[in-house]
Amino acid sequence: MSLEKQLLILSEDIYELPNPQLALDDPEGLSAIGGDLTTERLIHLYQHGFFPWYSDADPILWWHPAQRCQLLPYEFHLSKSLKKHTKRFSGSIKINTAFHETIQYCRQQRQEMEGTWISNDIQQAFTLLHKLGFAHSIEVWKDESLIGGLYGIALGEFFFGESMFSLEANASKLALHSLCLNADILGIKYIDCQVESDHLMSLGARLIPRNDFIQQLKQAIPTKCKNTELLKIDQLNFKVE
């Protein structure tokens, strides 16, 4: 018997959990509406595979796609051109030294290209998550200038990637490549890319069924999830090979 699809309207209970199997088919993966962006609710829903994605004009929309876009660090595809670029790269790649600037650049670039889901509320919520040790930025620096990067949430062995930006060619790819190179020391086994894109698939991402993704979450994230602070290596310079 197939389950009837339905959209859950979240209550004030920050630990309320939608059923991902009831997510809509159109728009695909939409599971719940409303609620808030408190730290507790965000961590609880991310821990179970949900993420917020909406524009300023909309209420908060929570998604759980049937096919999840995921990158395993050891499957990152290093193209010949990117390999040449990494060998010529003379800058540095750091973690958590410019989170505010990273999310701001991501917001600005998305806004210029296609509109953005990184609203003021999202930016404030993730900035608080960063201060609490849950959200992190990987930053690409050239001299004293930030030229690219990405940010996301780390829970257990998962890194939930949110957005990336490049002010110079290949800068965001360098950030993701560095994250993959350092995944073992960071305790990261899975990188969640949420929604499929040609760009992500070209870098080695793949699609996995929702049920497989849910099983990964159960195995890789503790029930009582604590901040990882990515092993408290906030001043580490990443080595790009």
Residue type, 190: Y
Which range of 5-9, 113-117, 227-231, 235-239 scores highest in mean pLDDT? It is: 5-9
* Nearest in space to 69 (alpha carbons), one of 181, 221, 197, 179: 197
Look at residue 119 in the predicted model and tell me its pLDDT: 87
CATH number at residue 167: 3.40.630.70
Look at residue 113 in the predicted model and tell me its pLDDT: 62
Instruction: Check whether residue 207 and residue 127 sit in a common domain.
Output: yes
- Mean per-residue pLDDT of the chain: 90
CA 180-185-191 angle, to 5 degrees, is 35
Question: Does residue 3 sit within a domain?
Answer: no
Instruction: Check whether residue 188 and residue 210 sit in a common domain.
Output: yes
Q: Strands 30-34 and 51-52: what pairing? A: unpaired
- Average pLDDT of span 40-63: 93
Instruction: Check whether residue 123 and residue 234 sit in a common domain.
Output: yes
Instruction: Check whether residue 45 and residue 116 sit in a common domain.
Output: no
% of residues, the chain, pLDDT over 90: 75
pLDDT in tens, 161-181: 999 999 999 999 999 999 999
Look at residue 2 in the predicted model and tell me its pLDDT: 58
- Average pLDDT of span 186-197: 94
Residues in the chain: 241
Instruction: Check whether residue 77 and residue 39 sit in a common domain.
Output: no
pLDDT over 80 (residue 183): yes
Instruction: Check whether residue 61 and residue 98 sit in a common domain.
Output: no
pLDDT in tens, 113-152: 665 578 889 999 999 999 999 999 999 999 899 999 999 9
Question: Does residue 2 sit within a domain?
Answer: no
Distances (CA, A) of 189 to 152, 159, 164, 180, 221: 14, 8, 20, 9, 11
pLDDT band with cut points at 50, 70 and 90 for residue 231: very low
pLDDT over 50 (residue 43): yes
Question: Does residue 1 sit within a domain?
Answer: no
Look at residue 241 in the predicted model and tell me its pLDDT: 53
pLDDT over 80 (residue 224): no
Instruction: Check whether residue 27 and residue 117 sit in a common domain.
Output: no
Instruction: Check whether residue 116 and residue 190 sit in a common domain.
Output: yes
* Nearest in space to 160 (alpha carbons), one of 123, 198, 197, 134: 134
Look at residue 1 in the predicted model and tell me its pLDDT: 45
Instruction: Check whether residue 82 and residue 41 sit in a common domain.
Output: no
pLDDT over 70 (residue 195): yes
Instruction: Check whether residue 79 and residue 46 sit in a common domain.
Output: no
Question: Does residue 234 sit within a domain?
Answer: yes
Look at residue 87 in the predicted model and tell me its pLDDT: 87
Helix (H) or strand (E) holding 69: strand 67-71
- Which residue has better confidence, 155 or 226? 155
CATH number at residue 50: 3.30.70.3550
pLDDT band with cut points at 50, 70 and 90 for residue 226: low
Overall number of domains in the chain: 2
% of residues, the chain, pLDDT over 70: 89
Query: Can you name the residues that pair with 141 across neighbouring β-strands?
Result: 92, 146
How many alpha carbons lie under 13 Å from residue 177 in its C-beta half-sphere?
23
For 87, the domain range is 69-238
Question: Does residue 133 sit within a domain?
Answer: yes
The count of other CB atoms within 10 Å of the CB of residue 229 is 14
Contact 110, 152 (CB under 8 A): no
Question: Does residue 51 sit within a domain?
Answer: yes
Look at residue 197 in the predicted model and tell me its pLDDT: 92
